[in-house]
Amino acid sequence: MTISIPIQPGRQVIRRGSRRRVRTLPLVAPSVLVLLLWMIVPLAMTLWFSFQYYNLLNPMLSGFAGLENYRFLLTDPALWTAMANTLILVGSVLAITIVAGVLLAVLYDQPFAGRGIARLLVIAPFFVMPTVSALIWKNMLMHPVNGIFAWITRSLGLGVVDWFADVPLLSIILIVAWQWIPFALLILLTAMQSLDNEQKEAARIDGAGPVAMFFHIILPHLGRAIAVVAMIETIFLLSIFAEIFVTTSGGPGLATTNLAYLIYSRALLQFDVGGGSAGGVIAIVLANIVAIFLVRTIARSLDR
């Protein structure tokens, strides 16, 4: 294959290795600029609105509110319910997906007949759009009358669980965990494959059984990858929205309202821009606490 490079006539020949000749600023600047705008402008607006009286339904009420929006939000029990729900949702999904992810990574690292296809089937849920997963689970699996789960438990004589009425938050947790187990598996499987075979062999010769092998060789090796999975999932799980939007709309009561859904309902259903923005600021602060750790881990991997 020949590649022809147009040559600039009359251009001075550049010395090999003199890299500064290429001006990189015009190449990088557009990306930086659009991202800066995308980040700074709305962020500044959120911050500004959070200190204003601003309700789309009541234009008479306006002006500087000081910390009034925050005071109102922080003394509202709904916020604390939403915070608790957010933490339960994130914590449970993390626990389920990481434990399942590690076990499945070990399982799918072993050779067996048809492993390639089995792997494809397991990771499939990650590519299903959230609105589809939520509605399929809610209607066809968890429906108390016509759902598969109800049919199974009834056939076993165990009675029926009305998932979204009896255990609404758990139902959401199960759906979200189903979507994210493949993510944990994909990443941990990649990490498994970088495990040194010699190290495993040496441990086996030293008489390490499968259990000792798991706890002393495999788990420590996966430590970093587990941390990365936990942090990336946390960032996404803090903002779970579509699954709640299409199944419960935050209910019954506030049972499945997380922080993201609370802000949405304040701002776009009750048109309280000020209050919604104050909630937004709280969400940003929360996410940033996790983000700092994640960014550090990733920045460290850049140096290697």
Partner 1 sequence: MRHAKSDRIALSVLGWTVALVMFFPIFWMVLTGFKTEAEAVATPPSLIFTPTLDNYADVQNRADYLKFAFNSVFVSLGSTLLALAFAIPASYAMAFFPTWRTKNTLVWMLSTKMLPPVGVLVPIYLLFRDTGLLDTRIGLTLVYGLINLPIVVWMLYTFFKEVPRDILEAARVDGARPADEIRHLLVPLSLPGIASTALLAIILSWNEAFWSLNLTASKAAPLTAFIASFSSPQGLFWAKLSAASTLAVAPILIFGWMSQRQLVRGLTFGAVK
The tokens of 284 are what? 């940003």
The tokens of 184 are what? 């944990």
Cis peptide before 210 (omega within 30 of 0): no
Rounded to 5°, the CA angle 263-75-264 comes to: 5
CB of 113 to partner 1, least distance (A): 5
Please identify, using beta-carbon distances, which residue of 168 and 182 lies nearer to partner 1: 182
CB of 166 to partner 1, least distance (A): 18
Of 235, 245, 247, nearest in space to 288 by CA: 235
CB of 75 to partner 1, least distance (A): 21
- Specify the amino acid at residue 78: A
CA neighbours within 13 Å on the CB side: how many for 130? 17
Please identify, using beta-carbon distances, which residue of 109 and 255 lies nearer to partner 1: 109
Please identify, using beta-carbon distances, which residue of 106 and 217 lies nearer to partner 1: 106
Please identify, using beta-carbon distances, which residue of 28 and 158 lies nearer to partner 1: 28
Q: What whole-number distance in Å separates Cα of residue 162 and Cα of residue 171?
A: 10
Q: What whole-number distance in Å separates Cα of residue 216 and Cα of residue 193?
A: 17
CB of 193 to partner 1, least distance (A): 9
Region of 193 (left: φ > 0; alpha: ψ -120 to 50; beta: rest) is: alpha
Please identify, using beta-carbon distances, which residue of 45 and 67 lies nearer to partner 1: 45
Beta strands per DSSP E along 45-91: 52-54, 62-64
Bridging pattern class, strands 52-54 and 62-64:
antiparallel
CB of 117 to partner 1, least distance (A): 8
Backbone dihedral angles phi then psi of residue 64, each to the nearest 5 degrees: -70, 130
Task: Report in angstroms the alpha-carbon separations of 283 from 25, 166, 262, 268, 289.
Answer: 34, 28, 11, 16, 10
CB of 203 to partner 1, least distance (A): 18
Please identify, using beta-carbon distances, which residue of 4 and 75 lies nearer to partner 1: 4
The tokens of 221 are what? 């090796």
Please identify, using beta-carbon distances, which residue of 120 and 158 lies nearer to partner 1: 120
CB of 167 to partner 1, least distance (A): 18
- With a CB cutoff of 8 Å and minimum separation 6, the contacts of 271 are 55, 56, 57
